[in-house]
Chains A and B, each alone.
Chain A
Amino acid sequence: MLFRLAAPRTRAAQLLIGAALLAGCTDGPWNNPNPESPPGLVTYQSVMTPLPPKHLDPALSYASDESLFLMQIYEPPMGYHYLKRPYELLPLGVEDFPQITYINAEGETIDPEAEDVAYSVYELTVRADARYQPHPAFAVDDRGAPRYLFADASESRPYRQISDFPELGSRPVAANDYVYAIKRLADPFNASPMLGFMAQYIVGMEDFSARLKDVPRDGWVNLDDYTMDGLQVVDDRTFRITIKGRYPQFSYWLAMHFFSPIAPEVDRFFHNPGFLDRNLTLDWWPVGSGPFMMVKNDPNSEIVLERNPNFREDYFPMEGAPGDAEQGLLEDAGKRLPLIDRAVFRLEKEVLSLWTKFLQGYYDRSGESHGNTNRVFDQAFVVGPNGVELGAELASHGITVSPDVKPAIYYYGFNMRDPVLGGYSEERRKLRRALQIAFDTEEYLNIFYKGNGIAAQSPIPPGIPGFVEGEAGINPYVYDWVDGAPKRKSIEHARQLLTEAGYPNGRDARTGEPLKIFIDVQSQAISSTSMNWMDRAFGRIGVQVEYRPADWNRTREKLLTGNTQIFSHGWLADYPDPENFLFLLYGPESPLICKCDGANNASYERPEYDELFRQMRILPPGEERDALVARMVDLYREDAVWLFGYYPKDIYLNNPWVHNNKRHGISKNTLKYVRIDDDLRERKREEWNQPVIWPLYAMSALLVALLLPGIIAYRRRLRATARQ
């Protein structure tokens, strides 16, 4: 019956008709994974990878993936110039730079240069034109009472998403909103990652936190009812923050999302009964005064931002760094921001999908927070006469490259308290230097990171004051300056150092035992091939290696207890100041000294370094400070504290219709500068995504070819006599 209904010829025809129908059922390319954008709006199509953000509450979030969204929605007091390098701090949510007043222990105002500074008072004035995005939290009824305050969960049940609230409101940003945000950092109920650190500086934060601990949590707690000594609202637009002592880096902290304004009524709105059960929280629906507002948050698939209609007047910078104008980065100078209307970030977990969609033109860029070029886009690059270059196919697509040397350092450090490798004697220093020379960082980066990294000569990466280029910037214990470039010292020199350290040919001169070093690594961060490479590298000087891989929690435990010999670690800058890197070697930051999660995992303790660090951290930028930084770097090199380090380099690819692609290593507040040529994008997508139809016909033919013999045999069997 089945075959009678669909004879072979008829079936093939049906398949062909089906294919034809399929071809006609959509207007655009068949493989377009993006839903239709609202007409007339320029939409930036991008990606979040590999996981959706966990927190979007500025008090809770501390991840660059999350900052990508927060910094488009909120405006903290300070920000950075988009184009200028070295990074330049600018007022963002406030009118001007903070006015800092220094006070002594007696409460008297003193000179900035005075030594007895007990407190620094930062006075800031909120921009007059800063205004929140339209949001139901600001909606009020005729009497001015909040429109959406519910007595119980049943009342709020009809509202499942922010878009379900028909009435919206807005208001100007007030000074108290910034103060309220800092109080939220201090509220122990929020468990902010900033509390422990900021409590060291902001006056009264610790006490405030302790008081809040005992407050019952049945609904919203209005933090305005509690005071913090270090916070003062002067008037509607002016507020003061008092910090202990002198801490010039505090201005940089004011550029981070932790200090973004939070309106108390927004906090109250999200504490409505039943909201938590429907994921209606500030942690998922940020409300700010920045250039964009969140209109959809589906962490399972996409996050959509739209232009905030209440965003203040903001313009593309008129000047940039040298070379920016030549690269077309000032073509939009003076234009009103943002330059796009919408931004869609789709969750993409698999690299093949991400790469394919980017090449098909469905993503405007190859990524946002992760360059994804090391493991993912290998095929994008070829090694040319000038090093790694974009492949011909991609170049013909007009794809551009945005290299981004992150203000970060990844390193393998020595435990300076280790009985074999640690210590400050000349023998130990020579031993560590020998290992430093044997580890060919340049080769390592070329093999395992496609050259996407720069061998570190000091803890301070490029773009940060204190980073020195050229001959003056090399580590003279490991490199020589040859023909205008640093050249690693020879293996013979390393062997010589090893001999002088008491390990001729890699054997202990006293016992004859071979020198074996132990490297603690995170299991996910090392491959067997890189272990083999390291075996070979140290084998050249006769040193044996044993690896102790563990997950992050176990590795962290080892670091906290000092139970390690060589460990791997990394640091991404919070702000562009050498202090944020040199503190990685500051003695009191050792977990073994502070009994905390300190950053000096090498447990490096050198009184001179520590004293210089204390002086440097309170000095303003200038020659005096630069000299201290240089001396500290010298000490680091002399003591050979880290086995090796490198500054990671990410490479982002941009489709030809995306403009203003300069990466900002510190700030994520750059989406407002992106410009999209929508017409070009449509044309290119159409051109690049014409479906290949012949496989459909081929598969139909194959199916027929497979079925036909069976059908013939079946019909023959039906007609056969019993004997046949």
Chain B
Amino acid sequence: MFAYIVRRLIYAIPILVGVNLLTFTLFFVVNSPDDMAASQLGDKYVTPEAIENWKQKNGYDKPLFLNPDAAGVAQLTDTIFFDKSVRLFAFDFGRSESGRDITTDVATRMWPSLAVALPTFLVGIGVNICVALMVVMFRGTRLDRGAVFVFVALMSISYLFYIIGGQFLVAKTWRLVPISGFHTEGQVWKFLILPVLVGVVAGIGAGARWYRTLFLEEANQDYVRTARAKGCSELSILFRHILPNALIPILTGVVVLIPSLFMGSLLIESFFGIPGLGSYMLDAINSQDFAIVRSMVFIGSILYIIGLLLTDISYTWADPRVRLS
């Protein structure tokens, strides 16, 4: 398995280079260093000298990919691409356009993201699996058909509706929890109740429907009939027989998400005022802060690759017949 993991990590390098190159090119097609300088310096009295000074201070006064004035390797290394993107591979994220250290910001912001994303993820999976198993128990009945209808209805509703509806009812009208905010002095949990609740409820439709499909396939297998013939209770059949056998497809969709939990959610964080990485990314896009965007895309790519790797590894745990080679 070790060799497999090493091989997968080596495969990741060209993927990361490609992602990096693509992000860099896309960003600079839209936004030249002059544009970036102008937007950072404001709308008034922006002189060419001010733009040049800003570019020099922030390292944007070099050629993009190739520096013909430099000699030897410096032709490639003395460029914006090398300075700003290649250094990411050494996890040197540098500074945002406003001068803040990105590594420090990421390290600070990932915890609030995790504080919301982890309970939403765990509670969401638990609820979805339980609901799906319950529906499977009544497969073919009116309850099953009604549940599928409800699932599809829940899926059809926009995520924004859940957020705004939840805020309006629970926080504004009933005044049960704060409508938004996050601080670590005192009761953090009261800021998490609503975003977690919204995240879980918004995911029930798609999640439970998907798991129901997986469990239904297993429910018709011979080993289930055998278990039932042996006198196993329905609950035992569901949780001890069907669920473990349906784990492989569940893990495929779930484990890959685990590392990305650090990245947070753009919408939830933005609407609930959670100072996590999701809102960090959104703010960076809004303020055209390329340094943050490229760092976040890079981190996101790495976490996704780790997620895929973990998924493969988890198969061996879920099904001992699977061997990675």
Do the two chains belong together in a single complex?
yes
- A residues within 8 Å of B by Cβ? 1-2, 26, 29-36, 51, 54-55, 62-63, 188-197, 199, 276-279, 281, 283-284, 298-302, 346-350, 352-353, 356-357, 360, 552-553, 556, 574, 596-597, 599, 689-692, 695-696, 709-710, 713-714, 717-718
- Shortest Cβ-Cβ A-B pairs, 9 listed: A196-B47, A300-B275, A33-B178, A33-B181, A54-B98, A353-B180, A553-B35, A692-B174, A197-B45
| Closest Cβ–Cβ distance, residue A48 to chain B (whole Å) | 12
Q: Is the CB of A193 within 8 A of B45?
A: yes
Q: Is the CB of A31 within 8 A of B273?
A: no
Q: Is the CB of A718 within 8 A of B234?
A: yes
Q: Is the CB of B46 within 8 A of A31?
A: no
Task: Choose from A299, A301, A360, A552 the contact partner of B175 (Cβ within 8 Å).
Answer: A360
Name A's interface SS: loop
Task: Choose from B54, B134, B180, B234 the contact partner of A191 (Cβ within 8 Å).
Answer: B54
Q: Is the CB of B176 within 8 A of A195?
A: no
Q: Is the CB of A301 within 8 A of B48?
A: no
Q: Is the CB of B108 within 8 A of A188?
A: no
Q: Is the CB of B183 within 8 A of A713?
A: no
Answer whether residue B226 sits at the interface, using C-beta atoms and an 8 A cutoff.
Answer: no
Stretch in B76-84, B163-171, B213-221, B298-306 with 4+ CB within 8 Å of A: B163-171
Answer whether residue B316 sits at the interface, using C-beta atoms and an 8 A cutoff.
Answer: no
Q: Is the CB of B45 within 8 A of A597?
A: yes
With contacts A188-B56, A347-B275 known, is A352 near B179, CB below 8 A? yes
Q: Is the CB of A283 within 8 A of B99?
A: yes
Task: Choose from A26, A63, A352, A714 the contact partner of B137 (Cβ within 8 Å).
Answer: A714
| Closest Cβ–Cβ distance, residue A159 to chain B (whole Å) | 13
Question: Given the complex of chains A and B, what is the CA–CA distance between A2 and B108 in angstroms?
Answer: 40
User: Can you list, as one digit per residue, whether each of B176-188 has a CB less than 8 Å from chain A (1) or not (0)?
Assistant: 1111111101110
Chain B contacts of A714 at CB under 8 A? 137, 234
Answer whether residue B91 sits at the interface, using C-beta atoms and an 8 A cutoff.
Answer: no
With contacts A31-B177, A353-B273, A356-B167 known, is A193 near B35, CB below 8 A? no
Between A and B, how many residue pairs show CB distances below 8 Å? 181
Answer whether residue B286 sits at the interface, using C-beta atoms and an 8 A cutoff.
Answer: yes
Given A301-B275, A353-B271, A718-B233, output 13 extra A-B contacts at Cβ < 8 Å.
A1-B235, A33-B180, A191-B53, A194-B45, A277-B101, A300-B112, A301-B183, A349-B279, A357-B180, A597-B38, A692-B175, A713-B143, A717-B234
Task: Choose from A36, A357, A596 the contact partner of B185 (Cβ within 8 Å).
Answer: A36
Q: Is the CB of A191 within 8 A of B57?
A: yes
7 contacts between A and B (CB under 8 A): A30-B175, A188-B49, A193-B41, A346-B181, A350-B271, A692-B175, A714-B234
Task: Choose from A30, A277, A283, A709 the contact partner of B177 (Cβ within 8 Å).
Answer: A30
Q: Is the CB of B176 within 8 A of A696?
A: yes
Q: Is the CB of B50 within 8 A of A193?
A: yes
- B residues within 8 Å of A by Cβ? 31-32, 35, 38-42, 44-50, 53-54, 56-58, 95, 97-101, 103-105, 108-109, 112, 134, 137-138, 143, 164, 167-183, 185-187, 190-191, 233-235, 270-273, 275, 279-280, 283, 286-287
Chain A contacts of B287 at CB under 8 A? 51, 54
Which of A29, A31, A302, A695: most chain B Cβ within 10 A?
A: A31
Question: Given the complex of chains A and B, what is the CA–CA distance between A188 and B49 in angstroms?
Answer: 9
Chain B contacts of A298 at CB under 8 A? 275
Q: Is the CB of A62 within 8 A of B44?
A: yes
Chain A contacts of B31 at CB under 8 A? 553
Chain A contacts of B137 at CB under 8 A? 714
Chain B contacts of A599 at CB under 8 A? 44
| Closest Cβ–Cβ distance, residue A52 to chain B (whole Å) | 8
Q: Is the CB of A189 within 8 A of B57?
A: yes
Chain A contacts of B167 at CB under 8 A? 352-353, 356
With contacts A32-B178, A350-B270, A350-B273 known, is A193 near B234, CB below 8 A? no
Chain A contacts of B46 at CB under 8 A? 193, 196, 597
Q: Is the CB of B101 within 8 A of A191?
A: no
Closest to B112 in A: A300
Task: Choose from B41, B53, B143, B182 the contact partner of A301 (Cβ within 8 Å).
Answer: B182
Chain B contacts of A199 at CB under 8 A? 49
Chain B contacts of A279 at CB under 8 A? 100-101, 104-105
Task: Choose from A30, A283, A346 the contact partner of B176 (Cβ within 8 Å).
Answer: A30
Question: Given the complex of chains A and B, what is the CA–CA distance between A671 and B172 in angstroms?
Answer: 29
Chain B contacts of A597 at CB under 8 A? 38, 45-48
Q: Is the CB of B234 within 8 A of A709?
A: no
| Closest Cβ–Cβ distance, residue A566 to chain B (whole Å) | 19
